[in-house]
Structure 1
Amino acid sequence: MSESAGSNPIKVIIVGAGLGGCAAALAMHYAGFEVTIFEKIRKFDRLGDSLGLGENALRLLARWGLHDQLIKIGNKSEDMQIRRWNDGTILAVQPLMDMAGYIGHRGDYHDAFLERVRECGMVINMGHKVVAFDEDKPSVTLEDGREFEADIVIGADGIKSQARELVLGFKDAPKSSGYACFRAYFKGEPLKSIPACAPLLEKDCVNIWIGHDMHLVQNTLRDGEEFNWILTHKDTADIKESWFQPGDMDEVRRLVVGWDPMIVAAVEKTERCLDWKICYRDPLPTWVSRSHKIALLGDSCHAHLPTSAQGASQATESGAVLAICLKLAGKGNVPLATRVYEKLRFDRVRQAQLNGEDVRDRWHTVLKTVDDGKDIDPDDVKIKNRWLYPFDAEADTYARWDEVSSIVRQELASGTITPLFDPKVGPARKLVRYDAFGRQIQHDFVHEPAVPAPTAVVG
């Protein structure tokens, strides 16, 4: 039990019971805090499709009693194959853990998170919509007029976060990334009668076809019982952030004309899909309100591209770091905790976001200057996420607390908080580099462009 436990624990309100909110709740519970969770949805459905959890997240979740349950759900394939779009030639083979760790259905993972939160004795107040925040108390007000106070409010309320609007002081509208995903998830049984699809149904597997300005990720779960594909392509249509927009299967079939017959056969058999416009937001100047008592977490402040395969994992890390910061700062010093939290997290999260942009761009361009049948360097198409996985977010927080908290104390005393990101000029900030074991080996000060490329996206 932590120093904060006992008769007067730190009181935490979490807005949102998605994966990030649940991870934060578990981190806060294991730190000994009193946790209240509000979720506007009355009942969660099995939404979405595939989602990955890396070793960096699973290391933390194991400490919170949520590990073996997730491994049972996840894809059992050891490797993934990266293929040429038209003939299926394997360009590179890479351990699946280098991509996204264990891939499972988002809804199944979410159910496991929700169950573990409830096992720990925390009540998830479903159908409780937060309509207002008071950042000074701090408190939240529900739609029915009731107000609840705490020592800290955590906004884990997703890409359309209300809490983010309070923190920023203005509406943070989405911008088009120029890309969209057609996504499908269905029972694999209809594919079993198609000879071309047989290699995809024998056992769990992950295949990625890369082409010009497009790529398609295929995922088989439960030895062929469930099948998932996601086609990322150029799209300049109007922005509409929605998980529920129906897709046009005729358009999908047109896009994959001439592609590898193995995956085309699966697409042809697909009855329906969703059309998900990939939007992004510029990196935020802060994740913390002016009073320092409301903090953002997960998609509300650091959403990721699908190709980063780190959205849920980075949200889990953020929950762990914020809990340790609150524990070390103590009940009476929430501002110190929240400001250290955002400083500890920003650079690592930003690099994870940029990784997703990097791999997408390499997949979409590497074959443009290579003739069909010609070899390419496998390293040119591999995912570069390995450095993320050995990292221990809790251990890193303890190791860096003294250094960063000293900086934050000075900023709080002066009343001037250094922005994480300045959208007008781009930040001069530390770009951290890591070795294969996740150890920091180098840092450089770099300026990002004032108008950054697409990065922060739901995924």
Structure 2
Amino acid sequence: MTSDVENSDRLKVIIVGAGLGGCAAALAMHHAGFEVLIYEKIKKFLRLGDSLGLGENALRLLQRWGLHEQLIKIGNKSDNMQIRRWHDGKILAVQPLMDMAGYIGHRGDYHDAFLERVRECGIPIHMGHKVVQFTEDKPSVILEDGREEEADLIIGADGIKSLARELVLGFRDAPKSSGYACFRAYFKGGPLKAVPECQSLIQKDCVNIWIGNDVHLVQNTLRDGEEFNWILTHKDTADIKESWFQPGDMEEVRRLVRDLDRRIASAVEKTDACLDWKICYRDPLPTWVSRSHKIVLLGDSCHAHLPTSAQGASQATESAAVLAVCLKLAGKDNISLATRTYEKLRFDRVRQSQLNGEDVRDRWHNVLKNVDAGKEIDPDDVKIKNRWLYPFDAEADTYARWDEVSRIVHEELISNNIRPLFDPKTGPARTLVEYDALGKRKAPEQNIAVDPPMPQQVVAC
């Protein structure tokens, strides 16, 4: 039995938000031996959303935390994905599905698996408890009913509309339109069995991507055709509406797919309803850590990704692992060293992962412009280039780099001169660290400097 003295020596962590990032953080903290509890404003989670991918870089961490086989069973069983030409479906490139997003499943199913594992570990999840305020120096959270809960560290995993982010930044960073939006639909595939054109898409698990001028559509079939998902990304200049549940205009969707390959267009036309997600952006944050160093951001609250990155949940899982290792190495009495080292270890890799999503979207939307119908497209021009992300081991990398980076952070803390991760006027604080195809850091002379201005952090509102 653990004594009260031993309990008092354990680091206590409060996590705000029980989404995928919050659950990953809880598992990482529990694995490191910390006391963990979660506050979530939602009273009950529903099976919301559509497709989500988890790459090998996340799965190796989740396996250590007791969550792996459960996820593999949920995921898409297709070996490959096909990238196709918009109007006729001609295959332009074939890639292993693992090169895109790893195992693709329904977000709600993955979330259920995360929640179940968190509960198996005995981590309390306080549902229907909305955090309305943070206090810096204790630190603590204040709930809507007036109660206050203190901890040694608070993790803001409260999503793209994060309240914790406002505290960390000291201001509210309103989203700005990126000029793109996604129509998204997820439904039972039964009705499509009567549609001759789309039979090849519903007979077994598959992933197909159609690319055109300023538009692309990703299709995902799960459970051998029992469930069907499509996501249509297109130009959009409408006003931003702060809602996850904005209904989409199916008439506008049908207009956008009029010249689309009939195999998928016929499935889209049979869709009863969809959601309209405006893709917005925020500038990369200057810091992920509050003034007291005791409130820290994780996941979408500080590094949201485009859908084309296929890495949002995976990078949140990596961040959880890195933060846990930093806290373990620094010790309970040196949280400031842990949190500031964490943000420095994470920023460069996360930024490159985000930029991958922007790169693939821009290549897909432009590669067919001004190309003669008979000209062959180089498959490399349309392939997703995420492979370098997957061999990476976030925990091992943190142990390997701890001495180097924590020494820099220690000097900054002593001098009270903490360099920002990003400055809107000058860009990132330092040279980006690059990783090779095996997920290892390149030598310093191989690293690339990034000239300002840095591209924005892109998020779905």
Distance 2:457 2:163 in 1: 21
Name the TM-score, length of structure 1 as normaliser: 0.97
Query: Counterpart of 1:332 in structure 2: which amino acid?
Result: D
Q: Is the 8 A contact 1:49 1:106 kept in 2?
A: yes
Distance 1:455 1:99 in 2: 20
Match of 2:83 in 1: 82
Distance 1:23 1:428 in 2: 28
Query: Counterpart of 2:457 in structure 1: which amino acid?
Result: T
Q: Cα–Cα, structure 1 residues 290 and 183, in superposed 2: closer, same or farther, change >3 Å?
A: same
Q: Cα–Cα, structure 1 residues 8 and 136, in superposed 2: closer, same or farther, change >3 Å?
A: same
Give 1:156 shift: 0.3
Give 1:108 shift: 0.5
Query: Counterpart of 2:395 in structure 1: which amino acid?
Result: E
Once the two structures are superposed, residues 38-61 of structure 1 have per-residue CA deviations (whole angstroms, 9 ceiling, x without a partner) of 000000011100000000000000
Residue from 446, 450, 453 that aligns with 2:449? 446
Task: Please give the residue correspondences for 1:180-329 in structure 2 after superposition, counting only pairs within 5 Å.
Answer: 180-329=181-330
Q: Does 1:165 align with 2:189?
A: no
SS at match of 1:344: helix
Query: Counterpart of 1:315 in structure 2: which amino acid?
Result: A
Residue from 423, 438, 457 that aligns with 1:455? 457
Match of 1:103 in 2: 104
Distance 2:47 2:118 in 1: 18
Q: Which moved more, 1:437-446 or 1:339-348?
A: 437-446
Q: Which moved more, 1:430-439 or 1:131-140?
A: 430-439
Give 1:276 shift: 0.4
Query: Counterpart of 2:195 in structure 1: which amino acid?
Result: I
Distance 1:170 1:423 in 2: 15
SS at match of 2:421: coil
Give 1:107 shift: 0.5
Distance 1:313 1:19 in 2: 9
Q: Is the 8 A contact 1:36 1:122 kept in 2?
A: yes
Distance 1:415 1:458 in 2: 35
Q: Is the 8 A contact 1:325 1:340 kept in 2?
A: yes
Query: Counterpart of 2:357 in structure 1: which amino acid?
Result: G
Q: Is the 8 A contact 1:13 1:150 kept in 2?
A: yes
Match of 1:408 in 2: 409
Distance 1:395 1:6 in 2: 28
Match of 2:359 in 1: 358
Distance 1:32 1:123 in 2: 15
Give 1:445 shift: 5.1
Give 1:444 shift: 3.3
Q: Cα–Cα, structure 1 residues 198 and 445, in superposed 2: closer, same or farther, change >3 Å?
A: closer
Query: Counterpart of 2:17 in structure 1: which amino acid?
Result: G
Q: Is the 8 A contact 2:13 2:153 kept in 1?
A: yes
Distance 1:123 1:336 in 2: 27
Task: Please give the residue correspondences for 1:366-405 in structure 2 after superposition, counting only pairs within 5 Å.
Answer: 366-405=367-406
Once the two structures are superposed, residues 397-421 of structure 1 have per-residue CA deviations (whole angstroms, 9 ceiling, x without a partner) of 0000000010111000000101000
**Identity over aligned pairs, percent:** 80
Query: Counterpart of 1:455 in structure 2: which amino acid?
Result: Q
Once the two structures are superposed, residues 168-199 of structure 1 have per-residue CA deviations (whole angstroms, 9 ceiling, x without a partner) of 00001101110000000000000011111110
Q: Cα–Cα, structure 1 residues 159 and 5, in superposed 2: closer, same or farther, change >3 Å?
A: farther
Give 1:449 shift: 3.0
Match of 1:130 in 2: 131
The count of corresponding residues between Structure 1 and Structure 2 is 455
Q: Is the 8 A contact 2:303 2:457 kept in 1?
A: no
Give 1:7 shift: 4.8
Query: Counterpart of 2:282 in structure 1: which amino acid?
Result: R
| Structure 1: runs of 5 or more not aligned | none
Name the TM-score, length of structure 2 as normaliser: 0.97
Task: Please give the residue correspondences for 1:315-354 in structure 2 after superposition, counting only pairs within 5 Å.
Answer: 315-354=316-355
Distance 2:166 2:320 in 1: 20
Query: Counterpart of 1:290 in structure 2: which amino acid?
Result: R
SS at match of 2:341: helix
Distance 1:18 1:404 in 2: 29
Query: Counterpart of 2:449 in structure 1: which amino acid?
Result: V
Q: Which moved more, 1:441-450 or 1:106-115?
A: 441-450
Match of 2:151 in 1: 150
Query: Counterpart of 1:277 in structure 2: which amino acid?
Result: K
Give 1:5 shift: 7.0
Q: Cα–Cα, structure 1 residues 95 and 449, in superposed 2: closer, same or farther, change >3 Å?
A: same
Distance 1:21 1:68 in 2: 20
Distance 2:242 2:93 in 1: 33
Q: Is the 8 A contact 2:284 2:456 kept in 1?
A: no
Query: Counterpart of 2:423 in structure 1: which amino acid?
Result: D
SS at match of 2:405: helix
Structure 1's consecutive aligned runs of 4 or more residues displaced over 6 angstroms after TM superposition are none
Distance 2:257 2:244 in 1: 22
| Structure 2: runs of 5 or more not aligned | none
Q: Is the 8 A contact 2:434 2:448 kept in 1?
A: no
Distance 2:93 2:39 in 1: 45
Match of 2:27 in 1: 26
Q: Is the 8 A contact 2:279 2:458 kept in 1?
A: no
SS at match of 2:273: coil
Q: Is the 8 A contact 1:357 1:455 kept in 2?
A: no
Give 1:370 shift: 1.4
SS at match of 2:209: strand
Give 1:440 shift: 1.3
Distance 1:447 1:166 in 2: 28
Distance 1:433 1:32 in 2: 32
